[in-house]
A and B are shown apart, each in its own frame.
Chain A
Amino acid sequence: MAAPSRLPLLQFCSTRVFLLRCTQGFHSEPAVQEPAYPPVIPSRTAKSKSAKKRREEDYYNQVRAASSVQDKLRLLTKLQREKYVVYPQTFTLNADRWYRHFTKTVFLPGLPEKCSVGRQVVDQENGKVPPAAGGVDPTVVDENTFSELRYLVGNGILQENFYLKKRRPFLQKEQEHFVAPFLSNLVSSVTNALAKYNPLLKMSSLDFNPEVSFYWMRGERTVPRGHRRGRADPIRFQINDQPHCQIRVPQQLEEFLPLQESVSAEVPVVQFEPNRLPMFQRQYDNNIFIGSKVTDPCSYGHTQFHLVHDRFKRDRLLKGNLADQIEVRLRANAIASLFAWTGAQAMYQGFWSHEDLTRPFVSQAVVTDGQYFSFFCYQLNTLALTVQTDHNNPRKNICWGTESMRLYEAVKDGEVVGLNDDVLKLLVHFLLNKPQKM
């Protein structure tokens, strides 16, 4: 006998349900649950444009979510392809126009207002005590110190050209033989002398023959030949620069112009491919380096010193009908080197083309061939140079620069003739540059 107590299921259910339905009442809405479908997104592996876009988006998200700066840099630079190698010191003609196009830079002649207005570098009153850190007028240097600097510079020039007996150097090694030791001497002695006025210099790091490299993409082109023929490809650039020496600091320099301020000058647009400059392509390691690794405390740049190579000296250019190219090449050198340095500094802080800068990066440079000095300031406002990110980007990078000025006329009978004080004052001003808070 089956369990007599077992009630028929249907009767049980229906009464229960009926009761339930009765208790719940006819006035409340039954709980409706939305069906949970996965999001409708394009495939990852299909041969379609949307799949390609999705793969790109996934890559960008991966870079954004990278845990450390080294990982980010690794992800951005791991894919090797043919890229144009940009040489800051170049034999090509009218290079500065092309370089401004590649780096989205605007060139403004003269130095920014901070450097030119109130350039009272030397204090005329004698016996003034050098101001302490955070003093009222930090850009003023004692008269005694300035004359000491003059002596140091003159001594440095004489050391290389008069005191030391040197053999005639082999072909095209004059700069290395005469000017490079003078420049090292000048930089180290002047920085030491000015360290008491600029506490930032006490914490700085002076590198000799550092390597500065930067890798970026700008513009697009169709691949003409090969297994990737017909595809749209960004144009890649790489700079591998070796300035003579550079000063790296742990704190960032102040900006010359606010980030959002627009400049009236225009970035030149060049319709031709870079190989018409001429510039040549190679495929090798993509490097981004400021002179020290990411974990170094001195990760911001202060000043770079560049030595013009023998091939690009003034007299050679004058012999080859290229008198107007002298200034052009100095500008091209400054723009390329400083863009690479500031760009690398920004990437060390985690910014890249899809995560644009929130604060401008500033650096300075001095380009010299021993006798003629030119001073340049660079402000990096944007790293978003790829076609996608440049679409609505009104920001431009700015480079200020002077013409080349003679430091001294000649060396005669153990005397430096015609030492130019203005050049020295500009150099001192550059080295005394420091953030306001210090």
Chain B
Amino acid sequence: MVIDLKCACLYLSRYPLYQLGNPQLRIFRTNFFMTLVKPGKEQPPDTVQFRIPMEMTKCDIKNYLEKIYSVPVGAVRTRIQYCTNKKRNHLNQRVKRPDYKVAYVQLVQQQTFQFPEIFPQKDTALEPGSVEEMQDQFMQDEQQRQKADPRRGGVTEWFGL
């Protein structure tokens, strides 16, 4: 009995080795996580910008997007953004902002992508006749009254005869 248990333990502790052609019993998920970001500078419409871990390469990004998200990828370009080590904390120690890698992915077949507006700008159109609108109008008139005469061309009030 004891010997049987020992055999069972040994069998469980060693998993079946994988060789090419064996059935894949385990699913390997990557440790990489990509973040889609809004481009800081204007990019052409077929370009998508990601922040990716430093260890990822262009081939990794292509495979990642094609296999996991089934998005066909045309071209990938990467760069590393260096972030400052100049800032200091309250103890005057230099604090490093971590570097990150940016990937620009171009899509195939003229597909376009526009990063959505997450914080839409509200039009502050005040209702005519409301209290806020009258207050706003009053403040604008007050500011207009306080401004100097434009015909004086920037010369101060006290300068004159």
Contact = CB atoms under 8 A, between A and B. Distances in A.
Interface in B83-127: 106, 108-110
Interface residue tally on B, bucketed by range: 10 to 19
Interface string A58-102: 000000000000000000000000000000000111100000000
Contacts of B23: none
B73 A321 contact: yes
Contact of A93 (B42, B72, B75): B75
A57 interface: no
A272 B73 CA distance: 21
Q: Considering residues B43, B44, B73, B110, which has the most beta carbons from chain A within 10 angstroms of its beta carbon? A: B44
Contacts of B42: 271-272, 276
Interface of B is mostly: loop
Contacts of B109: 324
A265 B75 CA distance: 29
Given A91-B75, A93-B75, A278-B77, A324 B108 contact: yes
A272 B77 CA distance: 17
Interface string B35-62: 0000000111011000000000000000
Interface in A324-345: 324-325
B43 A321 contact: no
A322 B110 contact: no
B77 A93 contact: no
Given A321-B72, A321-B73, A321-B74, A93 B106 contact: yes
Nearest to B109: A324
A94 B46 contact: yes
Contacts of B72: 321
Interface in A296-323: 320-322
Interface of A: 91-94, 271-272, 276-278, 320-322, 324-325
Interface of B: 42-44, 46-47, 72-75, 77, 106, 108-110
20 contacts: A91-B75, A92-B75, A93-B46, A93-B106, A94-B46, A94-B110, A271-B42, A272-B44, A276-B43, A276-B44, A278-B77, A320-B74, A321-B72, A321-B73, A321-B108, A322-B74, A322-B108, A324-B109, A324-B110, A325-B74
Given A322-B108, A324-B108, 17 more contacts: A91-B75, A92-B75, A93-B46, A93-B106, A94-B46, A94-B110, A276-B42, A276-B43, A276-B44, A278-B77, A320-B74, A321-B72, A321-B74, A322-B74, A324-B109, A324-B110, A325-B74
